[in-house]
Amino acid sequence: MTSRNQLIACVIKQYGTGLYRSCVKLDKNHAICLSTHSDEASATEMINRFLETYQQGQIKTLEDILLFIDSISSVSSVSKTAAPAEHGLFQPPSPRTA
């Protein structure tokens, strides 16, 4: 069976804070939270904007996602409730080399 890259996008509710995070995953090793929102609709809007950009072929690598995050951070019309996610990049620990 051949492996293929699969995009996963979701909105995660943080029950302790009541905030919503827009998160995406391009491969099995990298998940990124794009932004944090006070309402689910804004978080879903962010996912939809990401998916549109992805379907246009503008996002293919992890670096492209980081550029997307920078672009939404600089645009004030995205959402009044949006804020860039802190510690948005999650990676498994690297194996130690001796």
| pTM assigned to the model | 0.69
Tell whether the model's pLDDT for residue 56 goes beyond 50. Answer: yes
pLDDT tens digits for range 19-45: 999 999 877 777 889 999 999 999 999
Tell me how many domains the chain contains.
1
pLDDT of residue 58: 92
Which secondary-structure segment (H or E) carries 72?
helix 62-74
Within a domain: 33: yes
Query: Whose structure tokens read 């999650």?
Result: 90
Higher pLDDT, 43 or 80: 43
Separation between Cα atoms, residue 86 and residue 35, nearest integer Å: 8
Within a domain: 3: no
pLDDT of residue 81: 47
Do β-strands 30-37 and 83-84 pair in parallel, antiparallel, or remain unpaired?
Answer: antiparallel
Q: What is the mean pLDDT of the chain?
A: 77
Q: Which domain holds residue 77?
A: 8-90
